[in-house]
Structure 1
Amino acid sequence: MARRNKAKKRTSPDSRYGSVLLMRFINIIMKCGKKSIAEKIAYSALSLAEKKIGKDALSIFETAVENVTPSIEVRSRRIGGATYQVPVEIRQDRAISLALRWIARATSAARKKSGRTTVYCLQSEILDAYNKCGGAFKMCEEKYKMAEANKAFSHLRF
């Protein structure tokens, strides 16, 4: 018989800070299964951010993710031959996943654009997200603006 609910993935906490959120982020930035390299990149970027701001690295990271986490998104809904973009609230786990992906994607884009190291770009993106600016925060604001623009279709929710 089929499962009613999808089984949740269990992610173990990271070794240095004991944070499940940070381990999820390390898994996102990992390429070709090289977790130790991804851990070095993440930990180096967090230590640089910690030196720059003077606060705990984990609290900086959690605040950055919280600032980038969206609360609403638009979903396509087809009604009577027309497709509408309907604003819908996001589940918390999906919102955090989006925020982590956006930070990783903004880091990758900055790295390609500037030619600097991944550690430096990740550190600057985390600090930008912490200060509510930068590429990842811009993606979050775009989601919110799209939802605001389509607020008239909110009565068509699923």
Structure 2
Amino acid sequence: MAALCRNVTKLILREKRPICAILVRNSKYDSRYIENIKTLEELKQPIPPGDIRHYKKIKAAVTDDNSFTDFDPVVQKFINMMVKGGNKALARSHLEEAFEVVKRAQLESYHKASSEEMKATIELDPVVVFHQALENGEPLLIITKVVKSGQTYMVPIAASDKRKKFFSMKWLIEAGMEKDRSKRFYQQLGEEIVAAYYHKGGLIKKKQEMHKLCETNKAFAHLSY
């Protein structure tokens, strides 16, 4: 048996055939399964007689699926990006405390407003402020590396919706970490959310730096096609 293995090894090496393994990612749920229901409204509705759910197998709900009325997938995604060392509960508590900082800051501005018209323009919901802050920090253009003739170029391209949200969340977390020792992370994060809501702060600065980098490398924009 050992001699046979040696002969096979010599044959493979002599013919210089690469030895590789193809990893296939198998899913537990194939085409026989259908997606589950994720909204509370759909769960309350009766299943019609001809619905495929009577005879089709249904996928199990994943950990992040939630039928709670206040569930926000953007907030959930942001929490997942904040997680370090698998401690998701800590990341969730940090964001909740950051929302409290946002709420206090907006309430302070609300009570300092001199007229009812100004008070009506101040948003008090921290989740709405958070969404607007992320939207204000989304870049229109991003940089990608393109290799041409052995040379690497920094090429500006239009950012997709998915990449816009990713960079905005990433920069907001980085801005929250750029703090002095006198502030906790959630406090700095809350202040950055409020600042980005008013088009200020570290998130907006990082967005502007990305746009300046794209402006500097606009001569290579044709390489993206």
TM normalised by structure 2 equals 0.60
1:50 and 2:96 correspond: no
CA RMSD, 1 decimal:
2.5
Q: Which deviations, in whole Å up to 9, do the C-alpha atoms of 1:77-115 show, x marking residues without a partner?
A: 2223443221111121122111111111111112xx243
Counterpart of 1:94? 163
Which amino acid is 2:132 matched to?
T
Task: Supply the distance in 1 between the matched residues of 2:67 and 2:75 (Cα, whole angstroms).
Answer: 7
Amino acid at match of 2:220: F
Q: Does 1:133 align with 2:197?
A: no
Inter-CA distance 157–97: structure 2 relative to 1 (3 Å threshold): same
Aligned residues: 151
Contact 1:11–1:24 under 8 Å retained in 2 = no
1 or 2, which has the higher helix percentage? Answer: 1
CA distance in 2, matches of 1:154, 1:14: 44
Q: 1:71 to 1:14 in 2, by over 3 A?
A: farther
* More off after superposition, 49-58 vs 11-20: 11-20
Deviation at 1:126, TM superposition (A): 0.7
Is the CA contact (8 Å cut-off) linking 1:12 and 1:20 kept in structure 2? no
Q: Quote the residue 2:112 is aligned against.
A: none
Corresponding letter in the other structure for 1:128: A
Give the percent of matched residue pairs that are identical in Structure 1 and Structure 2: 26
For 1:37 and 1:11, locate their aligned partners in 2 and report how far apart those are by CA, in whole Å: 16
| Conserved 8 A contact 1:13-1:20 | no
Aligned amino acid, residue 49 of structure 1? V
Q: Matched residue of 1:70: which SS?
A: coil
Question: Residues 7-156 of structure 1 correspond to what in structure 2 (within 5 A)?
Answer: 11-12=64-65, 17-54=70-107, 55-110=124-179, 113-156=180-223
Structure 2 residues without counterparts, runs of 5 or longer: 1-21, 26-61, 108-123
Q: Show CA shifts across 1:31-71 (max 9, x none).
A: 22222221111012112212321421111000000011112
In structure 2, how many angstroms separate the alpha carbons of the residues matched to 1:12 and 1:125? Answer: 28
Q: CA 1:104–1:77 in structure 2 vs 1: closer, same or farther (change >3 Å)?
A: same
Q: Which runs of 5+ in 1 are unaligned?
A: 4-8
Give the counterpart letter for 2:192 in structure 1: E
Shift of 1:17: 3.6
Go from structure 1 to structure 2 and tell me whether the alpha carbon gap of 1:12 and 1:104 turns closer, same or farther (over 3 Å shift): farther
Structure number with larger C-alpha Rg: 2
Kept in 1: contact 2:101–2:191 (CA 8 A): no
Q: Distance in 2 between matches of 1:15 and 1:108?
A: 30
